[in-house]
Structure 1
Amino acid sequence: MELFLSFLLFLLVVSVCVVIISNNKNPVATTAWLIVIIFVPLIGLLLYLLLGMNYRKNRLYHKLFAANIFPQGSRQRPASDHSSRRSERFEQMVYRSCLQPATFHNETELYFSGEPWLKQMLRDIRQAKHHIHLEFFIWKADNTGQLLRDALLEKAREGVHIRILLDRLGCWRIAYLHRHFLKPLLVHPNVSFSWFYPTRVPFIQVRINYRNHRKIVVIDGQVAYTGGMNIGDEYVAGGRFSSWRDAQLRIRGEAAHSLQMVFLIDWYTATKEDLFDPVYFPAVETEGRRGVQIVPGGPDQKWESIAQAYFAMINEAKHELLITTPYLIPDDALLMALKTAALRGVDVKLLFPARPDHVFVYWASSSYFDELLQAGVKIYLYQRGFLHAKIMVCDNLVASVGSANLDFRSLYTNFEINALLYSPEDILLLRTQFFQDLRHAREVTREELQQQPWWIRFRNSFARLFSPLI
């Protein structure tokens, strides 16, 4: 019997290895999975089942388009009266990647800490007349979570229809530990709720790999929010960190329709409810002229839209490239692009947190420092609390704000959402904030890395082996 089970396990390992190799994925990710499965087969097979399988990506994309749920004309790029823009070719590349057009009738506001963002969002929610759509990765049962819950309940009692879409893994606390937290809201007839790819057995399912990391709020189809902040006290007051630095974007205008489109696609994916009705895309009420292009990334996209946008921004940089990221686990293409940009003479500056929130990911991120420094990239460690913002600024051409980290999971697995900003005012504001943050950071040098004990360098390199998996 023991011999038979061993032979069965051997056949299973060989079969899975053949499938992994046949997928033609990134060689680094393929090698990492093969190592784990061959040397620790039982654990490796389980991890691959939960985290490694990517069979849903093309199937989900084709299923959404086959369902014909999109409004008429949503797949065509609308005509633009801004044909002389320097960024036009970049905008067209992004459109071909994700079918989201650049829009130029918007008002924008950027928030770099949680308190002013939360206050403004609650003000907008209290002014809602028709509907409020919310989509978050994390919603905690704390003071901040209660403030939002109570504001939404008040609007539901006034007749506003509210739809809430949450990731069950990210919201595991209210899913399993504080089940009654949202109950006063969810029992109201004007509130619709769904988990995104829910876990039927707590924490364990094949779809655990495809998490919805998007942060979207759309109010009456006119005002929308996106960025890196979830709902919880730590995003407002810092939690276990002294402060929390992040980035959130408020939009009034055409780009709110783009975020509405992404939300409704996600809502359809979770509930199969078709809400593509003109009532959710009202005429824009703004005189703003800011340029915004929404970029969704994930299994519902044909291409790796956000990864391609980041790659193009790095390659387009001529003078300066500013990057703020809490995690740094780039694939080979992005790593090569960053090093090549620095070697071309571009002033590449990378701002990274000095204190980790996920230690193993931090070790893996640190393993990339030395080769980036050798190429001429300048790396700074932010020391004033935790740095959670995901920002990239390419000269005065384009800037990016959103939910996507500079790592494998954000770029190739999770459902993510970024906003590309084309207006000089927004780009300047993000650039100014970057240099303000540098006042609270220290520069990393090659000398200090070379003076690290061997075991720290080995620890970081070991963590890097699992880069495609974390």
Structure 2
Amino acid sequence: MYLVEALVNWLTLYWVTIIVIFHLSLSLLTSVHVLLFKENERTSLAWIGLVIFSPVVGSLFYWLFGINRIKRSAQKEHPQTLKKNFRYKKKPINFHQLPTNWHAALIAGHAINPINYLACNKIEPLINGDDAYPAMIDSINGAKHHIVLSSYIFDYDTIGRQFITALAQAHQRGVIVNVLLDGIGVGYSWHKSDRALNKLGVKTARFLPAISFTSIRFINLRNHRKILCVDGEVAYIGGMNISENNVIKSAKHPIDDVHFKVTGPVIDQISQVFIEDWFFATRKLIQFPHYIVKTSNPDQLNTKTTQRHVNPVVARVIQDGPDEHHNRIRWTLINALVCAKKSVKIMTPYFIPDQTLMTSLHAAAMRGVSIEIIVPQHSNILFVDWVMAANYSRIIEHGIKIYKNKRPFDHSKIVLIDDIWSFIGSTNWDARSLEFNFEINLECFDTELNSKLSKFFALKKKGSALVINDDIHGLPTYKKIRNNLFRLFSPYL
């Protein structure tokens, strides 16, 4: 009892000194970690300032939000002996008869992402949930062996329940079904979708669950990929979550979007990303059927010329995330922008590029390349709209044109360069996608696909308003201050 009383008296007497020493020790430890592991100088300085001038709270924010823990833990949790099952055999670069001005890009592309470009693919744009969901559910209903599905948001609404029913019926037919949901995204449906799937016997897993008894999870690291692969015969990727809001004909809060149906050998690369994600989430390795060429004419089975005529797209997967694949999408975009000769068309729900990407765009514009960007007039995140507005004056330098789409929130994500290169998938042009999210995109070479998406882009542009200097300078001063204040926090949005 005497010891307890003495301890209380000592703490009462020296509590200020104890707190100061604790703050200084924690701040020093945190600042050293920032210096050793943060690459961006401005971000590092901001973190150190927050740590020093916000006692304890600043350090707490850094350890929760500022560390790329997955990058280090991925190396531990994906042992190299097992990762050999995930790797592709290195082959000589095949230029697939693409224009010579893109050959250097393909060479650099292999250095950025050592995965082969594959010919004989077919990629079909599906506009909104009106087109995408029926096609996806038909593929699920026709499944015979294996289905893998990954989604950031899986709402428990009329559309979500249609997917749940189709997946459960496939499971009852003996099809192996694996559904991977993001640990944060699953909360949008209050966990109802995964509970419903589990109740019906469908195997589900969470990628980085928000609450874990084995490790600390971080809400700023999310699996933003949208993948559906069926039997190694067909795949779907893009930016579309599973939600009735994407069915424009009936949605109360409509969200425009575009998804893509994929057939061809690149399906194996898409399913491989899911296999790695599933292993990361469950420590279990699944076997998924490989793509097999099918044709109604047996004499044409091995005729590459015939396959290329029917399925002309040369494509490969680019995956990115805060792990060993970090920065691959950013470098892929920079690599492609260097090759632009005539035009660059970008459609994205959030356009907050870092300085490197913005410089690459300006460099292309100064070479005489036409650059057009379409963003929503109003996104689903108000302060992101403010940050984009703060950047307009910087963006439109050197002739870059940016348009605000007047439609309801447009979540479409495409990048088109000249008349041949297309970049489709889940990635936005912001720090969250390029730094913290696990994303999947397809890098595609094909004039027909590019033409279809260019027409889609032109249609969107018709309903959009060009941002001009008068709009920017005409803003009230308080809005300019507000917008630029939030711009300071753009790396963390």
Q: State TM-score, norm by structure 2.
A: 0.88
Q: Which residue of 2 aligns with 1:185?
A: 197
| Deviations 1:66-109, CA, capped at 9 Å, x for gaps | 14244487141366472554434323323332332211121211
Percent pairwise identity: 28
Deviation at 1:19, TM superposition (A): 1.6
CA distance in 1 between partners of 2:195 and 2:210 (Å): 19
Deviation at 1:201, TM superposition (A): 6.2
CA distance in 2 between partners of 1:239 and 1:41 (Å): 51
Greater length-normalized contact order (CA 8 Å, ≥ 6 residues apart): 1
Note closer, same or farther for the CA distance 1:88–1:347 as it changes in structure 2 (3 Å cut): same
Secondary structure of 1:159's partner?
Answer: coil
Match of 2:144 among 114, 129, 134: 129
Structure 2 residue 271 is the aligned partner of structure 1 residue 271: no
The letter for the 1-side match of 2:420 is L
Structure 2 residue 18 is the aligned partner of structure 1 residue 4: yes
CA distance in 2 between partners of 1:34 and 1:320 (Å): 41
Note closer, same or farther for the CA distance 1:396–1:58 as it changes in structure 2 (3 Å cut): farther
Secondary structure of 1:457's partner?
Answer: helix
Q: Which residue of 1 aligns with 2:384?
A: 361
Note closer, same or farther for the CA distance 1:160–1:78 as it changes in structure 2 (3 Å cut): farther
Q: Which residue of 2 aligns with 1:380?
A: 403
Q: Which residue of 1 aligns with 2:153?
A: 138
| Deviations 1:14-54, CA, capped at 9 Å, x for gaps | 32122212224112322332343334344432322222101
Secondary structure of 2:185's partner?
Answer: coil
Contact 1:98 1:303 in 2 (8 A): no
Counting matched residue pairs gives 463
Contact 1:91 1:101 in 2 (8 A): no
The letter for the 2-side match of 1:219 is V
* Structure 2 alignment gaps of length 5 or more: 1-14, 296-306
Structure 2 residue 39 is the aligned partner of structure 1 residue 25: yes
Q: Which residue of 1 aligns with 2:28?
A: 14
| Deviations 1:404-456, CA, capped at 9 Å, x for gaps | 11111111221000111211011111111111101110001112111111111
CA distance in 1 between partners of 2:23 and 2:251 (Å): 44
Match of 1:225 among 218, 233, 236: 236
Match of 2:224 among 213, 221, 225: 213
Aligned runs of 1:228-239 on 2, under 5 Å? 228-237=239-248
Match of 2:293 among 259, 273, 284: 284
Q: Which residue of 2 aligns with 1:173?
A: 188
Match of 2:485 among 451, 462, 465: 462
CA distance in 1 between partners of 2:79 and 2:444 (Å): 27
Contact 2:115 2:316 in 1 (8 A): yes
Match of 1:337 among 353, 360, 363: 360
CA distance in 2 between partners of 1:196 and 1:407 (Å): 22
Q: Which residue of 2 aligns with 1:394?
A: 417
CA distance in 2 between partners of 1:185 and 1:311 (Å): 41
Contact 1:323 1:350 in 2 (8 A): yes
Q: State TM-score, norm by structure 1.
A: 0.92
* Structure 1 alignment gaps of length 5 or more: none
Structure 2 residue 441 is the aligned partner of structure 1 residue 427: no
Structure 2 residue 76 is the aligned partner of structure 1 residue 76: no
Q: Which residue of 1 aligns with 2:67?
A: 53
Match of 1:37 among 36, 46, 51: 51
Q: Which residue of 1 aligns with 2:300?
A: none
CA distance in 2 between partners of 1:42 and 1:396 (Å): 54
Contact 1:75 1:99 in 2 (8 A): no
CA distance in 2 between partners of 1:171 and 1:218 (Å): 20
Note closer, same or farther for the CA distance 1:197–1:169 as it changes in structure 2 (3 Å cut): same
CA distance in 1 between partners of 2:267 and 2:413 (Å): 20
Contact 1:352 1:380 in 2 (8 A): yes
Deviation at 1:271, TM superposition (A): 0.8
Note closer, same or farther for the CA distance 1:201–1:455 as it changes in structure 2 (3 Å cut): farther
CA distance in 2 between partners of 1:6 and 1:228 (Å): 48
Q: Which residue of 1 aligns with 2:134?
A: 119
Of residues 436-445 and 13-22 in structure 1, the stretch that sits farther from structure 2 once superposed is 13-22
Secondary structure of 2:218's partner?
Answer: helix
The letter for the 2-side match of 1:138 is I
CA distance in 2 between partners of 1:83 and 1:62 (Å): 41
Structure 2 residue 341 is the aligned partner of structure 1 residue 318: yes
Q: Which residue of 2 aligns with 1:195?
A: 206
| Deviations 1:174-202, CA, capped at 9 Å, x for gaps | 4xx354x444432445x321100112269
Contact 2:26 2:56 in 1 (8 A): no
Note closer, same or farther for the CA distance 1:296–1:330 as it changes in structure 2 (3 Å cut): same
Q: Which residue of 2 aligns with 1:413?
A: 436
Contact 1:245 1:389 in 2 (8 A): yes
Q: Which residue of 1 aligns with 2:318?
A: 295
Q: Which residue of 1 aligns with 2:259?
A: 248
Secondary structure of 2:159's partner?
Answer: helix
CA distance in 1 between partners of 2:81 and 2:135 (Å): 37
Note closer, same or farther for the CA distance 1:62–1:369 as it changes in structure 2 (3 Å cut): farther
The letter for the 1-side match of 2:206 is W
Deviation at 1:56, TM superposition (A): 2.7
CA distance in 2 between partners of 1:433 and 1:68 (Å): 43
Q: Which residue of 2 aligns with 1:350?
A: 373
Note closer, same or farther for the CA distance 1:79–1:377 as it changes in structure 2 (3 Å cut): closer
Note closer, same or farther for the CA distance 1:136–1:60 as it changes in structure 2 (3 Å cut): same
Secondary structure of 2:39's partner?
Answer: coil
Match of 1:153 among 168, 189, 192: 168
